[in-house]
Amino acid sequence: MIPKPSVMLSSEAIAARVRELGAKITQDYKGRHLVLVSILKGSFLFAADLARAIDLEDVRIDFLGLRSYGSGTESSGVVQITHDLTFPVENKDVLIVEDIVDTGLSMQYLLDNLATRKPSSVKICSLLHKPARTRVAISIDYLGFTIEDKFVVGYGLDYAEKFRNLPYIGVIES
Ligand code: IMP
Ligand code: MG
pLDDT class of 74 with cuts at 50, 70, 90:
low
82 within 8 A of 66, measured Cβ to Cβ: yes
Instruction: Quick: pLDDT tens for 103-128.
Output: 999 999 999 999 999 999 999 999 99
Question: Tens of pLDDT along 127-174?
Answer: 999 999 999 999 999 999 999 999 999 999 999 999 999 999 999 987
Instruction: Encode pLDDT of 11-38 as tens digits.
Output: 999 999 999 999 999 999 999 999 999 9
Percent of the chain topping pLDDT 70 = 97
Return the CA Rg of the chain.
Answer: 16
Task: Give the whole-angstrom CA distance, residue 10 versus residue 13.
Answer: 5
- What pLDDT is stored for residue 2 in this prediction? 79
Structural element, H or E, at residue 2: none
Ligand 1 center to 101 CA (angstroms): 6
Distance of CA 129 to the CA centre of its chain: 10
Mutate to test the pocket of ligand 1, among 2, 71, 102, 107 (most ligand atoms within 8 A of CB): 102
Neighbours of 110 (CB within 10 A): 21
Pocket of ligand 1 (CB under 6 A): 42, 68, 75, 98-107, 151-153, 157
Domains and CATH numbers, the chain: 6-171 (3.40.50.2020)
CA of 157 to the centre of ligand 1 (A): 8
**Could you give the strand order of the β-sheet that contains 152-153, starting from the edge strand earlier in sequence?**
6-9, 169-171, 152-153
